[in-house]
Chains A and B, each alone.
Chain A
Amino acid sequence: MSENTHYDVVIVGSGIAGAIVAYQLGKEGKKVLILEAGQKVPANRNHYLDTFFKANAKTPESPYPPTTQNPDASTSDNPLGLPDPATENAPRYTVLQVQPWQNARQCYFEYTPNDRKLAPDSPEAKFAFASSYERIGGGTTWHWLGTSLRLFPQDFELKSRYGQGVDWPGGRDFYQDLVPYYEKATNEIGVAGDKASLDRLYKQFEVAPDGHYGAEYDYPMPGIEETLVDNEYVEPVSSLSVDGNPLYVTPTPQGRNSRPGERRQCAGNTNCIPICPIQAKYDATVTLARALQTGNVEIRYQHVVSNIRLDEETDEVIGLDYLRYEDDETKTRAPESGAVTAERYVLAAHAIETPKLLLMSNKNKKFPNGVANSSDQVGRNLMDHIMYLAWGLAKDPVYPYRGPLSTAGIESLRDGGFRKSRSAYRIEIGNEGWQWAADDPFTTLADFVFGQNNSQLNGDSVNEHGQPLRWDHSLPAGSALFGESLVNTLNGIYTRQLRLGYLIEQLPDPDNRVELSTTETDHLDLPRPKVTYRIREDYVRNAFVSAKQVSSKIFKAIGALEYTKAPPPPQFDTEASKQTPTTFQYQGQNFTFYGAGHIVGTYRMGDRKEDSVLNRRQQSWDHPNLYMVGSGVFPTVATGNPTLTIAALAFQAADNILEDFSTHPKR
C-alpha cells in the first residue's frame, strides 16, 4: 500500500482537541493526517460495552483497550491482575494503578518513593497522580462526564487579582478573545443547557458588565432535567453562604442530548463515565467523523509518534518519526518505523503523552532538552482538580443511581476575595449514590449479607460530629440479614445516598512534572513517564478544610446524616510499596484526595518565552510551525471542568493555523 507522506498539517492524537483542529482545517481544504497511537474507533460500541459489563472494577478506563485488569492473572503480589505496562504498545495510566503506584510492573508511571523520615503532614510528600486518560481513537472523551462549563474571566487573572499562580496570557482579554470560540465549542458538542440559570451565575461574577455573554450565546439543546437528588439541595442551600458568597444550585450545561438529534436522547443510564451505552453523550468520535467526511482528513491508527525532527537552521519542525504496531495479541511482530512530513504540525496527545513526546525528541542539536523546551517548562506544572468527596444519607428517599451521573452543581463559590488565601472550587452534586465514594452498591450489600461494617451502616461507627451511623438501631451491630429485612434495609439506604464532590483548583508547581523514565519502557522501547506530584501549598490544602466544613453545613441544612470517612494518617515511614498514594495530613486532619480526570498544564501558554512553552496562539515559542492543543496549554486549572475550554481553544488554534497558511502558504 502506498501512503502519502507529505501533508499540509499532521496532527498527533485524535481526541477532542485534535479532531476539532482536523475538522476545521479539513473544511478549509487543507490536507490533514492524524496519527493516533491507540486502536481505531470501533464500528459500534458493543465490544467496549461488553468489556465494561464484565469488568470487576468499573473504573473510567475499564471498557477500553488495552485491558485494565485480568482476574485470571491475579497473584498475591498482583491481586487485581494488572498487566505489565512493559508488554503494551500504547499503555496508559489507570486508576487501578494508583494503589500499586510504586510498582513499575503494574504502574505505567514511574514514581520515586518518599523519604521515610518525612512527617505525615510534610508539604514535601509525594503522591500518586489520581487521574487517568485514554490512548484510543476519540481519546479521553470516551469517558468524560459531559460537563460543559465556561471558565470565568477571573480564572484567567489569578495572579494579578489574587497574587496566586499565574495569569493566562493577556488575562481578562484572553477570556474575551475566547468567547466566540466558546460558542463554537458549545455548538460542536451540542450542549444542553438552561440559559436563565447560567445568566444568574454570570451576573454574580460580572462576566460581562453589559449582560451580553456572547453574540450567539445560548445552548443548542434545552437543559437536561434535574434529578430528585438535585432538588433535595435547591431550597435548603439557598439560605447558606460561604466566605461572603451565596450558595445556590445551578443546573449543569452538559454535552448530552436532551432531545433526539444526530445522537440519541439521554436515557439516564447513569454511566456517562466509563461509557455511555447509547452515545447520547458527545464524544470526540463525533467530530472525528465530521473531520473525515470533509474528504481532506486521513487517520492512521496504532501509529505512535516517537520523535520530532527539527531543521538545524530554521528550528522548524521538518518531520515526525513513528512506530506502527500490529493488532497482534501475541506481539510477535516487530513494529514498523516510518516518517511523515507537513507544512505545519499539531500535537494533541493530552497532557502526559505530549510532553513525553517533546522530551523524547532530544536528538536535535540545538534542543538537547527536548523540542519546544528552551524554557525548560515542558512537562512542568502538572495539575488536576483535586477532589474532596463528602457523602451522606438524606432524611427521605431521593432515588439516586438514576439519570446522568451529575446534572447540577454549586457554582457560586468559584470566585471571591477568599481566592487570596485558599483555592476556589465548584461543588458537583453526584447522582450515583455512594458508588464513587464507597464502592457501593456492593460495599453496603456485603455488609448486610455477611455482617460486615465497611459502609459504617452496620456497626458502632460514629461520624466526626459524634452522630452514630448505624442504619437500624433495633438491629445489633454486624447484622447479617436475609429476605424481607434485607430488602427493606438495602432499599432504605440506597434510595437516600448523597455525594458531593469539590473540584479544588490546584496551583501550578514547577516541580509537579512529567519527565522521562530512565529505567522503564513500554513494548515499543519508548521511555515511560516519570511523574512527581505533590500538594505543597497551604493555599490548596486550605480549600480541603473549607470543603469539609461546607459539606457538613450543607448536609445539616438538608437534614442529611454525614458518612464521610476520614482516612487513616498517611504512612511514609515504611517500605515504598506501602507508602500512601493519595492521603495527606493538614492541620491535624487526614484527607484523601481524588482525581477529577482533568490533566492540565504541562506545555503551558504564556506571555514570555522564558517561562512558557507556547505563546497565546498556542504556537511553540521555539518552532513557529509547531502548535499544541489540549489542556496541557492551560496556565492554571481554573474552576470549571476543562473540556469546553479545550474545545474552544482548539477552534481558536485552528483559526491561528489557517491565518498562518494565508500569510505563509509554504514554510
Chain B
Amino acid sequence: MSNEMSEEMKRFIGLSAVLTGFSKSILAPGIDPVDIKSDYLPFFRKKLAEEFKDSDLFDTLLSTFSDLSAKGLTDTQIGQQLLNNDNGDFVTACRKLIFMWYSGAWPTIISARDGQPESTVSTLISAKSYTQGLVWQVMQSHPMGSSNYRYGYWAKVPPELSAYTGHDNQTQGAKQ
C-alpha cells in the first residue's frame, strides 16, 4: 500500500479538513492502517450522484475547493465561500460531508411536519465508520464501546483538545 494519496484524495481531504475543523493529519494520517478516507471518498461520490441526481456534483465540489485554496484564503474564508454557494445542493452536500466525518453515518433530513421540527436520521456506513466518527474526538473521549484508554483515565482531565483535532488554535471547553 502506498502512502502517497491521489490528487483527488488530497483535494477530498483538504475540503474535509476545512469543513470539519480537523487537521488533514488527523483525517489522513501519514501511517493510516484504518484508512477510513478510502471508504468515505467513493461512498460520498456515490451518494451525491444518487441523492442529487448530479454525477458532476462531487467533481464540482473538489474543483471549487481547489480554486478557492489556490487563492491563498484562510480555512474560515474558504469554508464561508463554499457554504455561501448559490447552489443549494452544493451547500447541502458540504453539510452532509461534515456530518459523515463526525458520525460515520449518512444523514437524511426529515422536514418539519405535524408540529414536529426538522430533524435528522442517519444510517451507519460500517462498523469501522462508527468508531472513526470525529464526535468522539471533539468530546476528548473515545467511541462508546471502543476505548484505547486504561483503567482510571476517567478520573483525570483528558489531553488538550488540540491533541484530538490536530489544530492548536482551539479553545478547549469554550463557553461564550
Contact = CB atoms under 8 A, between A and B. Distances in A.
B151 A268 contact: yes
Contacts of A487: 20-22, 138, 161, 165, 167, 170
B60 interface: no
B155 A225 contact: yes
Contacts of B151: 225, 258, 265-268
A432 B144 contact: yes
Contact of B21 (A269, A396, A453, A484): A484
A619 to B, nearest CB: 41
B64 interface: no
Interface residues of A, number: 65
A486 B21 contact: yes
B123 A396 contact: no
Contact of A442 (B95, B122, B140): B122
Interface stretch (B4-12, B27-35, B41-49, B129-137): B129-137
Contacts, number: 196
Contact of A277 (B75, B105, B140, B145): B145
A401 B141 contact: yes
A228 interface: yes
A226 B151 CA distance: 11
Nearest to A480: B95
Given A54-B126, A482-B21, A491-B138, A452 B75 contact: no
B157 interface: yes
A486 B20 contact: yes
B120 to A, nearest CB: 4
Contact of B158 (A275, A277, A399, A471): A399
A472 B176 CA distance: 6
A275 B127 CA distance: 15
Interface string B90-126: 0000110011001101010100000001111011101
A453 B120 CA distance: 11
Contacts of A181: none
B95 to A, nearest CB: 6
A437 to B, nearest CB: 15
Interface in B144-164: 144-147, 149-158, 161
A50 B130 CA distance: 11
Contacts of A227: 154-155
B7 to A, nearest CB: 23
Contact of A484 (B140, B158, B170, B173): B170
Nearest to B19: A482
Contacts of A450: 95, 99, 107, 109, 118, 120
A435 B175 CA distance: 21
A277 B147 CA distance: 9
Given A269-B144, A483-B20, A490 B139 contact: yes
B39 to A, nearest CB: 14
B87 interface: no
B173 A53 contact: no
9 contacts: A53-B128, A53-B145, A56-B123, A399-B154, A449-B107, A450-B109, A454-B119, A482-B95, A488-B171
Given A269-B142, A483-B75, 16 more contacts: A52-B145, A228-B156, A268-B153, A270-B144, A270-B145, A271-B145, A399-B157, A433-B139, A435-B144, A442-B122, A449-B102, A452-B120, A490-B102, A490-B139, A491-B138, A495-B173
Interface of B: 18-22, 75-76, 79, 83, 94-95, 98-99, 102-103, 105, 107, 109, 117-120, 122-124, 126-128, 130-131, 135-136, 138-142, 144-147, 149-158, 161, 165, 167, 169-176
